[in-house]
Amino acid sequence: MSDDLKKGLEGVIVAESELSVIDGDAGKLVYRGYTIEDLAKGASYEEVLYLLWHGYLPNRDELSEFKEAMVAAREVDDDVISTVRQLAEADENPMAALRTAVSMLSAFDPAPEDAEPTDETVNLETGRRITAKIPTIIAAFTRIRDGKDPVDPRDDLDHAANFLYMLNGEEPDDVLADVFDQALVLHADHGLNASTFSAITTASTLSDVHSAVTSAIGTLKGPLHGGANQDVMEMLKEVDDAESDPLDWVKNALDEGRRVSGFGHRVYNVKDPRAKILGERSKELGEAAGTLKWYEMSTTIEDYLMEEKGLAPNVDFYSASTYYQMGIPIDIYTPIFAMSRVGGWVAHVFEYIEDNRLIRPRARYVGAKPEDTTFVPLDER
């Protein structure tokens, strides 16, 4: 590999953004100037959406109007739900089902067909509708797959609480709603990650917002980007089912050459700040349930890998046990990631196309040269 080749575009600057910044050495994540700690502690997911999409935190009236618009967009057309039902009954992968359903939403979207691709108002409204409907799709898919009827969204619950209500058929208590809302805030944006880059690459062609989000979902479906928290929880369950000491388990796993999920990150060189926050919430949920099993198992593995291998946990490591203790099915962890990150995808699409340039990288050709080949007609081959 030549010195100037940046495989995977690592370290290559392709855009300027005001949305989020990561300091991987200090373990800092900032949305539009606000630390993730302040936002996770004091702002709802709806407030963070407003911040990402509009550039500032809303006042009470602005937030109320924004939430009303989100609530009004939650319902999904019956034809889309019918397709979701077919996918669920066919036991489709949850991320593949979400990708298909979001693409299908465009057929029923009220945006003017003759709208310019860069129309800020139209794109904002479209992005808001997609963001509002994704929880409805995920909840419906999960319930249908489990042999239950979908639950209609309610107009008196916030984004996070409404999803848990649609998923479980009962209103969540304040603690669960708060923890889930905080998880959505933590996952809302994270720089120019792979799925976000897919979204803006699609948007740079002046395609539509549905196509951009569908591209992003398809990218997040890949196990090198999404799915790590699902792997973490499967790992923790393996330790628990084996009734093994977590310290012995992780030592044996490493001796066998296994990769321990939830550790290391392409950007962070220290502990992911989001992991710190979710670790605390995982502990709180365990205390409320009367058992710290999952939290203590996680911290034992974390302490060993930090001390012996210098590996720090990422957000997936503690979101796994947090979601599990909330009763969320393991295989919809990645769709929930999409449910949150769509806010960032949409924001980056808005930002990029304001000063759009078609994303068109080049590859260095290292194949055969014409002087080294001779064309042979078909009949002579």
Residues with active-site annotation: 265, 316
User: Cβ of 147: how many Cβ atoms within 10 Å?
Assistant: 8
* Closest alpha carbon to 140 in 158, 156, 163: 163
* Closest alpha carbon to 22 in 270, 266, 262, 267: 267
Question: Cβ distance 325 to 288 under 8 Å?
Answer: no
Give, in order, the Cα–Cα distances in Å from 117 to each of 151, 201, 208, 223, 344: 34, 14, 6, 31, 19
Q: What SS3 class is residue 277?
A: helix
In the chain the beta strands, taken as DSSP E runs, fall at: 20-23, 28-31, 34-35
Structure tokens at 239: 């330790």
Whether the CA torsion 215, 218, 222, 225 is positive or negative: it is positive
DSSP-derived letter for residue 140 is H
CA distance 381 to 6: 39
E strand or H helix that includes residue 123: helix 120-145
Torsion on CA atoms 270, 274, 279, 284, rounded to nearest 10: 160
Expressed in percent and rounded to 5, the helix, strand and coil fractions of the chain are 60, 5, 35
Residue owning tokens 């999404």? 226
Angle at 22 between CA 184 and CA 285, to 5 degrees: 35
